[in-house]
Structure 1
Amino acid sequence: MTQESVHGMTSLKVSASKVFQPQKKTYYDRQLRLAQDALVHKNPNYFAELLPQREMWRLYPHFRDVCFLDIEADSRGIIVLTLFDKYESKTFVRGVHLGKDTVNQELGKYQLIVTFNGSSYDLPKLKKFGVEIHVPHIDLKALCQRLKLIGGLKEVEIQLGIHRPQHLRGSATDAWRAFWASGDREYLELLVAYNEQDAVSLYQLMEKCMKMVAEK
């Protein structure tokens, strides 16, 4: 837990004593102690039900084991899924090594999950596949909207000066269709590269958004 976090908790307690009646102050002091204990003991699950989605980004500085998750899907379900942990990525492809048990096992290693529009897209697809997220989920689309960054992932990347390689600016879905039609492994490798780049971009976007929040 950072020095700033401890100072923030203390400041809240002092402020509360000036605003709340004794009974309410006791309640809020207890809630602050519980939240402080959860941060000290690195317990992200405490916040999973407590914080609204639009505020989940506040947890990012306090937990190290973070997974940036992106999927591509068609009408049949998930095509490819990539998990990026700030250092390396793991990608799972339908019909190759994509299985719900494997994905559940991998996700169990993390304290936070970060997506872009995952509340509406990635998480429902994962749930249908048999994968449940049991840790706090940061949906970057909500944070981007807070920061007046409008559009999809690629549009927001442009606004923030995040540059992806030219050959990875196309559509992962198109690459999947080409692979499905031809069986050419080159299209499969391109599909994986697209998805991995999306996951890496989520990390870059998260870092830039946190810097913007700090400067406000």
Structure 2
Amino acid sequence: MLQNSFIFLPKIGLKKEQGLWNQGILHWDNFLQATQAQQMRGISTKIKGYYDQQLHEAKKALFAEDSFYFQQRLKSNQMWRLYEAFKDQAVFLDIETSGWYYGDITVIGMYDGYDTKTMVKGFTFDKKLLKKTLEAYKLLVTFNGSSFDLPIIERFFQQVVPKIPHIDLRHVCAKLGWTGGLKQIEKQQGIQRDPAVQTPEASDPVYLWQQYQATGEKEYLNTLVKYNEEDVINLKPLAEQAIKRLWNYTYPPHEPTKHHAPTTQKTTQTASADEAGQNQAH
């Protein structure tokens, strides 16, 4: 997916990228191996030399697993193209609060595709630990995190979110016409949740926290943590489905995992949206 993309190059937008694909330039190596006799329409010899240099740098960055390199060059609405390359080093993140956007953070959940890590207010909140945990990853994935999770985390903890690419699945889904909150989209796409957190009470994180604060009963807190775990775990299958679908629309008729490289080379293959109540998607 990433090595089929040229949109991170200066002055190449979606239309020009599509033009390259239409000429059979489907992979970075296709571009690099094109000769002057096979001149690409709309790209001069001088500009091609400049782009060749940029692509060689991009290949080095990908080999070095330097996601920040691509973050600096891709627009935020194209960060999803990094998913296939860095998904094995991605963290899926989601928070719960005591009162939507202006409440306190009650739970921070993180999932690396294998294990979940949960921080709970009053028990395991630790700014240094949160910062260290997030810095171990190359890619951050949320649902509505641009508007909800990340601004709130920065407001409470300040300077803990690392400078790594961020994919907001809410916007990826919107490109596909998948609208609504996280739970609605999960249902639409056949992504299942544990029935234990689907009752009206168990699916309301604000209510669960308020009841825990009022009664001190751990059952409410445990249900809240479980609810958050379902949020972060379900972000991965949603990312897999949405990004694959969007890539197939962007790069037809080729599958997103095909690179069409002429030579074999090493490649790195590598908040909660609590329904519409939380800032439209939460």
State the TM-score, normalizing by the size of structure 2: 0.71
The yes-or-no answer on 1:174 pairing with 2:207 is: yes
The aligned counterpart of 1:26 is 49
Superposition pairs of residues 185-196 of structure 1, within 5 angstroms? 185-196=218-229
Amino acid in structure 1 at the alignment position of 2:94:
D
181 and 38 in structure 1: CA distance in 2 versus 1, 3 angstrom threshold: same
Amino acid in structure 1 at the alignment position of 2:89:
D
Provide the rounded CA distance (Å) in 1 between the counterparts of 2:110 and 2:139: 12
Shift of residue 125, structure 1, vs aligned partner: 1.0
Work out the percentage of aligned pairs sharing the same amino acid. Answer: 38
Shift of residue 77, structure 1, vs aligned partner: 2.7
Shift of residue 49, structure 1, vs aligned partner: 2.1
Shift of residue 11, structure 1, vs aligned partner: 2.5
The yes-or-no answer on 1:80 pairing with 2:80 is: no
Provide the rounded CA distance (Å) in 1 between the counterparts of 2:31 and 2:208: 52
SS at match of 2:109: strand
The yes-or-no answer on 1:46 pairing with 2:64 is: no
Provide the rounded CA distance (Å) in 1 between the counterparts of 2:70 and 2:181: 27
Shift of residue 23, structure 1, vs aligned partner: 2.4
The yes-or-no answer on 1:162 pairing with 2:191 is: yes
- Runs of 4+ off more than 4 Å: 1-5
Provide the rounded CA distance (Å) in 2 between the counterparts of 1:85 and 1:2: 21
Amino acid in structure 1 at the alignment position of 2:84:
P
Q: Which moved more, 1:203-212 or 1:143-152?
A: 203-212
The yes-or-no answer on 1:198 pairing with 2:222 is: no
The aligned counterpart of 2:90 is 66
The yes-or-no answer on 1:143 pairing with 2:172 is: yes
Provide the rounded CA distance (Å) in 1 between the counterparts of 2:81 and 2:244: 12
Aligned CA RMSD, in angstroms, stands at 2.3
Q: 2:162 aligns with which of 133, 151, 155?
A: 133
Kept in 2, the 8 Å contact 1:118–1:139? The answer is yes
178 and 36 in structure 1: CA distance in 2 versus 1, 3 angstrom threshold: same
Count of aligned residue pairs for this structure pair: 216
Q: Please, which runs of 5 or more residues in structure 2 have no aligned partner?
A: 6-25, 250-282
Q: Please, which runs of 5 or more residues in structure 1 have no aligned partner?
A: none
The aligned counterpart of 1:117 is 144
Structure 1 or 2: more helix by fraction: 1
Q: 2:78 aligns with which of 55, 64, 84?
A: 55
Shift of residue 133, structure 1, vs aligned partner: 2.5
Shift of residue 143, structure 1, vs aligned partner: 0.8
Kept in 2, the 8 Å contact 1:71–1:79? The answer is yes
Provide the rounded CA distance (Å) in 1 between the counterparts of 2:116 and 2:213: 24
Kept in 1, the 8 Å contact 2:172–2:243? The answer is no
119 and 58 in structure 1: CA distance in 2 versus 1, 3 angstrom threshold: same
Amino acid in structure 2 at the alignment position of 1:164:
R
Shift of residue 109, structure 1, vs aligned partner: 1.1
With a CA cutoff of 8 Å and minimum separation of 6, indicate the structure with the bigger relative contact order: 2
Shift of residue 3, structure 1, vs aligned partner: 8.5
Amino acid in structure 2 at the alignment position of 1:77:
D
Kept in 1, the 8 Å contact 2:179–2:185? The answer is yes
Shift of residue 31, structure 1, vs aligned partner: 1.9
Provide the rounded CA distance (Å) in 2 between the counterparts of 1:103 and 1:171: 25
